[in-house]
Amino acid sequence: MLYHPYKPQDFDPLYVLEEICFEPPHRFSRRYMRSLVNRVNAATWIAEDAGQIAGFAIVVWRDGKQGVTAYIQTIEVATEMRGQGVGRELLSRIESSARLAGACLIWLHVEATNAAAIRLYESQDYRCEGRVENYYPPNHAAIIYVKRLDSAPNQPISVK
């Protein structure tokens, strides 16, 4: 498996994977996805296997009241590549990008029924911060997970 930062020529195959992984209304539009991968306050990592995109992850960050915080927009892995550590490695790479941007914490929403993703986040020291009912259409709850990226483990974690 080869991992590398996003390049413009990755967009079309990246979006094909988006179309495979998510059905409307959960799928990002091409326009929104393009805006994400082109942001200066974001990082996109690509996983390739034999020249094909096996997965990708996008993280964005912003400066706020608590300093720089990062938000995981998406981690997507091709069905046939799941369970092989691709998601874990992509998560590690976007965490590193967020740290380089000065982020003190990283957070995300995950569908409450996505047991595999929840296991991944919990195995990487993400802590449940809350739940949002009806976050994903139609009427699906999201769980909020947060992880400190800095060396202040006793500081409270909050994205509110």
Tell me which of 160 and 140 has the higher pLDDT: 140
pLDDT of residue 153: 56
pLDDT of residue 26: 81
pLDDT of residue 45: 98
pLDDT of residue 76: 96
pLDDT of residue 160: 53
Element (H, E) at 87: helix 86-100
Q: Is the dihedral of CA 135, 136, 142, 148 positive or negative?
A: negative
* Of the candidates 48, 54, 59, 58, the residue with the CA atom closest to the CA atom of residue 21: 54
pLDDT of residue 139: 86
Token pair of 34 as six digits: 């393009």
pLDDT in tens, 84-129: 999 999 999 999 999 999 999 999 999 999 999 999 999 999 999 9
pLDDT of residue 17: 97
Structure pTM?
Answer: 0.92
The domain defined by 2-148 folds into Aminopeptidase (3.40.630)
Instruction: Give me the mean pLDDT over the 45-57 stretch.
Output: 97
* Of the candidates 40, 33, 39, the residue with the CA atom closest to the CA atom of residue 15: 33
Q: Would the pLDDT of 16 be above 80?
A: yes
pLDDT of residue 157: 56
Q: Chain-wide mean pLDDT for the chain? A: 93
Q: Would the pLDDT of 152 be above 80?
A: no
